[in-house]
Amino acid sequence: MGLELTSWEFSTLITRWLLYAGVAGSVGGICSLYLLKAHRGLQGALLKYALFAVLLAITSAFGHFFVRVGAVLEEGVSGMFEPDIVSIIWNSAVGEALLLRVLGLFLLLVALVFLWRKRKLTATWVEPGAGVAWLGFFGLLLTATSYTEAGHAVSQSWIFQLVLVVHLSLTAWWMGTLYPLWLACHRLASAEAHAVLHRFG
* 116-152 per-position pLDDT tens digit: 888 776 767 677 778 888 988 999 999 999 999 877 7
d(CA 187, CA 201): 19
pLDDT bin (cut points 50, 70, 90) of residue 40 is confident
CA distance 64 to 162: 24
Has this prediction a pTM greater than 0.85? yes
pLDDT band at 34 (very low <50, low <70, confident <90, very high): confident
What does the mean pLDDT of the chain come to?
89
